[in-house]
Structure 1
Amino acid sequence: MIQRIQTLYLFLAAVISAGLIFVFHLWTDNNDVKIFALDDFLYLGLFLGSALLSLISIFRFKDRKSQFVLGRLNIVLNFVLLGIFVYQSLNLSGEINVSEKGIGMLLPIFSIVCLVLANKAIKKDEDLVKSVDRLR
């Protein structure tokens, strides 16, 4: 349902994962060329996969358990993306590919925060429904 707070959090995570990758660059290489997520299919696929999982989770509002599981899966996907960014920026020798890191490398962190808040709200709704069922 649209009026629930987890829908707002999930939509914000989808906007971060699908919309802001076009605005913020991931890093700048030695030739002062800004590298966006569009330039590498791995990053683009992971970002769009995260946005798709968020949107699917929004429309699964009738089944809170699957919505919670999709949120957890999306958090894991964002941690994988963040791990790839950390590996890319720290494991390269010298100044081969990454000269200056951009704010785009922090987008998975913002998405993870939104997804954790959404899962917390989903869990709260599930507990509320369980407590009402006990009263019947």
Structure 2
Amino acid sequence: MIQRIQSVYLLIVVLLGAVLPFFLPVWSTEEGTSVFATDQFMIMTVFGASAILALITIFLYKKRKLQISLGRLNIILNFILLGFFVYWSLTLPGEMQISQKGIGMFLPILSIVFLAMANKAIKKDEALVKSADRIR
């Protein structure tokens, strides 16, 4: 059952957490240098944990309740990451000058959206299995 739509959503979360932080800047300094998520250990650790958790969730397709629980845990992890980004964007040194926030700050939001869609699809599968069991 790896070919289900929730597996595609979870694979997108894996790509958002494992690949894109290397290519998309989190913010740019006033000198024009880009700061990536890989420059900050804590951010990269949370991105990696989110990607690994989503990858594990893909292969637990026979345990749908555990998949939903891991999806919720991953959503909480991404909210924590989003909190780090909000905190650092508000306390960046030199905010009086012009510094630009990068597209990398939106990666946790995209991950949360795809995780919520995956959880919705998993719940739909669970309801389908329960209805089939009820008929027998």
Q: TM class by shorter-chain length?
A: over 0.9
Q: Which residues in structure 2 correspond to 1:28-47 (within 5 Å)?
A: 28-47=28-47
Q: What SS is found at the alignment partner of 2:25? A: coil
Aligned residues: CA RMSD: 1.7
Task: Confirm or deny: 8 A CA contact 1:27 1:35 kept in the other structure.
Answer: yes
Q: Which residues in structure 2 correspond to 1:38-117 (within 5 Å)?
A: 38-92=38-92, 94-95=94-95, 99-117=99-117
Distance 1:47 1:73 in 2: 13
83-92 or 22-31, which moves further after superposition? 83-92
Distance 2:91 2:21 in 1: 23
Deviation of residue 90 (structure 1)? 1.8
Question: Normalising by structure 2, what TM-score?
Answer: 0.94
Structure 2: unaligned runs, 5 residues or longer? none
Structure 1 partner of 2:27: 27
Structure 2 partner of 1:129: 129
Distance 1:92 1:7 in 2: 37
Deviation of residue 31 (structure 1)? 2.5
Q: What SS is found at the alignment partner of 1:26? A: strand
Runs of 4+ in 1 over 4 A off after TM superposition: none
29-38 or 4-13, which moves further after superposition? 29-38
Task: For 2:47, give the aligned amino acid.
Answer: F
Task: Confirm or deny: 8 A CA contact 2:21 2:104 kept in the other structure.
Answer: yes
Deviation of residue 93 (structure 1)? 6.2
1:76-126 deviation digits (Å, cap 9, x = unpaired): 000110011011112446428x82100000000111110000000000000
Deviation of residue 2 (structure 1)? 2.2
Q: How many pairs does the alignment contain?
A: 136
Question: Normalising by structure 1, what TM-score?
Answer: 0.94
Distance 1:95 1:126 in 2: 48
